[in-house]
Amino acid sequence: MTPDQSEADMMSAARTKVLTGFGIGSNIEPERNVQTALAALRYEFPDLLVSPVYRCKAVGFDGDPFLNLVVATETSQALPELQAMVKSLEAASGRSGQESKYSGRTLDIDILFYGGLVCRTEQIQLPRKDVVKYPYVLKPLTDILPDWVHPERLCTAAELWQGLVDAAESEQRLLHKHGVELTDMRFDRSSGSF
């Protein structure tokens, strides 16, 4: 949020289309829950970009591996509408919203970025810090939007990814260290399924 932009302005209804990214993860019936989420998002956003799917170890707790991916679209929906849609999709998968931070998830959908908005409030963290923190978010984002520019760091997703790779000395080492592996699951746009 810029100094001259009030929270009310930011929350206002429809605006011009903005590029918006979502992180999707699940480790409870992950194939079914991710498939259902993608179908709902594709219905809402027919031009949805879908990354490859990555399998990753649970972070912060012992649990089944997660399936993670990133999707992106241009939308004129206001941020509160998108937040409500995400919560509705999570609830439809059986997520109560009362789970501890480090526990299994039927479905976890995070709005990663909303145009160039930078906002740090109790309710909204944009862009999400996960984008630069976790390879299971940044790698799939880089796969579909390598030229996306982080509005705070002012560098592209590809440059951010390369920075993580350089720090780990290789992409393979980085992915292995974080328990991230590419799956053979690919989204078929024509059928709307894997």
Residue-wise pLDDT for 91-102, tens only, equals 988 776 666 566
pLDDT class of 3 with cuts at 50, 70, 90: very low
Measured CA distances, 54 to 40, 101, 136, 140, 189 (Å): 20, 21, 7, 8, 18
User: Under DSSP, is residue 103 helix (H, G, I), strand (E, B) or coil?
Assistant: coil
- Mean of the per-residue pLDDT values for the chain? 87
Query: Does pLDDT of 161 surpass 80?
Result: yes
Q: What is the pLDDT of residue 73?
A: 97
**Rounded-to-integer distance, Cα 55 and Cα 108, Å:** 14
Residue 192, φ and ψ in degrees, nearest 5: 75, 25
For residue 153, pLDDT over 90 is answered with yes
User: With contact defined as beta carbons under 8 Å apart, do 6 and 70 qualify?
Assistant: no
pLDDT in tens, 62-117: 889 999 999 999 999 999 999 999 999 999 887 766 665 666 788 999 999 999 99
